[in-house]
């Protein structure tokens, strides 16, 4: 009897191991490898043009505004927690909640009495299980738009229940013309087989014409590494710094912005990290900016919350805030103002950040 039981157990273990090996093989064969995802590898991105807003471009010394927002795929609103942040849920929003959050995000972006002209969005899903197949890029990209995947996997097998199919990325949409756009691969800190079902971070770079000049306004939409040991963020930040400096040296105007997953200067003093056992972001290094550049961010309102539990601002002991979203401006882009829009984390675990700038003729 004991021998038969042992045999059954061994057969079951063998089947499990065989299935696991088959899954890893399948994930390896179908792994998302845009252009080989070599560091710095460049791929052209299709620009979706909206004829109703074509023919517009910014002028020198004219103010305009930019919004950056990690929308949390419209699935990480005020009622959500997330297993990677110390919470318990994998998919914490049902279909109706995703729809409601997506509508709220849309209205926040486009119903403002003083609307922005450039929008840089992160964690925008297309045909993902967690967002019930919705094409969020199409819904939110109502202007001239460029979209680049940074997470695409046919089936993410962890945790239990598994995440499932994911297609998510960066969306830049603007009333201005976009001459061209590129996806630039960033270093991936994860080794095989973890890399097969993990993010492939990138920069989404959009080149906008500037009226009366041959220079370009270079919009760099970014979402840097989150759940690594820190080395990934450092390597990705270094590549970002080198790229934006090279664009400025070409005579271009550069606005880089998004979710840095790194705390901006004095952010820890404003919002001390008391939950290091859950998730701890990196810290913006002192040398992130070339000399003469501007780091634009707002400490008065947090840009992100920890998803260790549903949002409860009255629970000050367990509610953790961060300032990890903002912008880098080249010396020829003058900062007028930057403000975090307090949406109460209703639709996402991030608040949008609004930037007011103007392009100057002096460098």
State mean pLDDT over 64-93. 88
pLDDT of residue 226: 82
Spatial separation of the C-alpha atoms in residues 183 and 157, rounded to whole Å = 27
What pLDDT band is residue 282 in, cutting at 50, 70 and 90? confident
| Cα 345 versus chain centre, distance | 16
Output DSSP code: residue 70.
Answer: E
Q: What is the DSSP string of 223-286?
A: E---SS-SHHHHHHHHHHHHHHHHHHHTT-EEEEEEE-SEEPTTHHHHS----TTT---EE--T
Helices (H), the chain: 2-29, 95-110, 136-140, 231-249, 267-270
pLDDT of residue 163: 82
In this structure, the number of other CB atoms found within 10 A of the CB of residue 340 comes to 21
Question: What token pair was written down for 335?
Answer: 């900062």
State mean pLDDT over 320-346. 97
pLDDT of residue 251: 96
Greater confidence, 91 or 332? 332
Across the chain, mean pLDDT equals 88
- Asked whether 303 and 320 are in contact (CB, 8 A), the reply is no
pLDDT of residue 77: 93
In this structure, the number of other CB atoms found within 10 A of the CB of residue 329 comes to 24
State mean pLDDT over 162-168. 89
pLDDT of residue 306: 94
Q: What is the CA radius of gyration of the chain?
A: 21
Which range, of 89-93, 331-335, 338-342, averages the lowest pLDDT?
A: 89-93
Which range, of 24-33, 267-276, 297-306, 354-363, averages the lowest pLDDT?
A: 24-33
Q: Is residue 13 classed exposed, middle or buried when 0-12, 13-18 and 19+ CB atoms within 10 A define those classes?
A: exposed
Comparing C-alpha atoms, which of 147, 85, 140, 108 is closest to residue 307?
A: 85
E strand residue ranges, 82-234:
118-125, 144-156, 164-174, 180-185, 202-209, 216-223
pLDDT of residue 92: 65
Model confidence at 268: pLDDT above 70: yes
pLDDT of residue 87: 76
What pLDDT band is residue 278 in, cutting at 50, 70 and 90? confident
Note the pLDDT tens digit of each residue in 230-250: 678 888 999 999 999 999 999
In this structure, the number of other CB atoms found within 10 A of the CB of residue 286 comes to 7
pLDDT of residue 35: 62
pLDDT of residue 55: 81
pLDDT of residue 336: 98
In this structure, the number of other CB atoms found within 10 A of the CB of residue 345 comes to 24
pLDDT of residue 299: 97
Which range, of 71-75, 111-115, 324-328, 336-340, averages the lowest pLDDT?
A: 111-115
pLDDT of residue 160: 72
State mean pLDDT over 117-146. 96
- In angstroms, the Cα distances linking 207 to 132, 180, 204 are 32, 5, 10
Note the pLDDT tens digit of each residue in 208-233: 999 999 999 999 999 998 877 767 88
Note the pLDDT tens digit of each residue in 7-44: 666 666 666 666 566 655 555 555 667 765 555 688 99
What pLDDT band is residue 195 in, cutting at 50, 70 and 90? low
Question: What token pair was written down for 359?
Answer: 């392009």
Which range, of 43-47, 179-183, 275-279, averages the lowest pLDDT?
A: 275-279
Spatial separation of the C-alpha atoms in residues 82 and 46, rounded to whole Å = 33
Instruction: Look at the block and give the residue holding tokens 């998730």.
Output: 279
Cβ neighbours of residue 238 closer than 8 Å, sequence gap 6 or more:
none
pLDDT of residue 194: 62
Model confidence at 1: pLDDT above 70: no
């Amino acid at each position: 009897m004991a021998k038969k039981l042992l045999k059954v157990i061994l057969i079951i273990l063998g089947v499990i191991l065989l299935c696991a090996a088959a899954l890893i093989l399948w994930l390896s064969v179908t792994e998302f490898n845009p252009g080989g995802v070599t560091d710095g590898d460049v791929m052209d991105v299709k620009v979706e043009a909206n004829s109703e807003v074509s023919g517009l471009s910014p002028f020198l010394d004219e103010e305009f505004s930019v919004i950056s927002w990690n929308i949390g795929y419209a699935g990480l609103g005020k009622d959500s927690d997330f297993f990677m942040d110390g919470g318990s849920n994998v998919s914490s929003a049902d279909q109706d909640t995703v729809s409601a959050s997506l509508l709220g995000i849309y209205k926040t972006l486009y119903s403002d009495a003083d609307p922005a002209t450039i929008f840089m969005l992160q964690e925008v899903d297309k045909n993902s299980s967690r967002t019930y197949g919705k094409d969020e890029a199409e819904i939110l990209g109502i202007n001239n738009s460029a979209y680049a995947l940074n997470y695409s996997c046919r089936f993410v097998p962890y945790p239990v229940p598994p995440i499932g199919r994911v297609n998510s990325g960066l969306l830049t949409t603007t009333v201005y013309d976009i001459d061209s756009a590129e996806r630039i691969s960033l270093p991936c800190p994860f080794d095989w087989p973890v890399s097969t079902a993990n993010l492939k971070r990138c920069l989404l770079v959009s080149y906008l014409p500037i009226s009366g000049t041959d220079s370009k306004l270079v919009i760099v939409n970014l979402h840097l590494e989150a759940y690594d040991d820190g080395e990934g963020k450092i390597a990705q930040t270094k590549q970002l710094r080198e790229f934006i400096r090279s664009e400025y040296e070409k005579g271009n105007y550069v606005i880089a912005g998004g979710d840095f997953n790194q705390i901006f200067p004095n952010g820890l003093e404003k919002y001390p990290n008391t939950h290091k056992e859950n998730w701890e972001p990196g810290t913006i290094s002192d040398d992130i900016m070339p000399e003469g550049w501007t780091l634009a961010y707002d400490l008065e309102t947090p840009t992100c919350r920890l998803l260790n539990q549903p949002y409860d601002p009255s629970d000050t002991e367990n509610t953790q805030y961060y300032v990890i979203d903002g912008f880098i401006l080249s010396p020829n882009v003058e900062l007028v103002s930057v403000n975090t829009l307090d949406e109460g984390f209703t639709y996402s675990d991030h608040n949008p950040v609004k930037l007011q700038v103007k392009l100057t003729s002096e460098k």
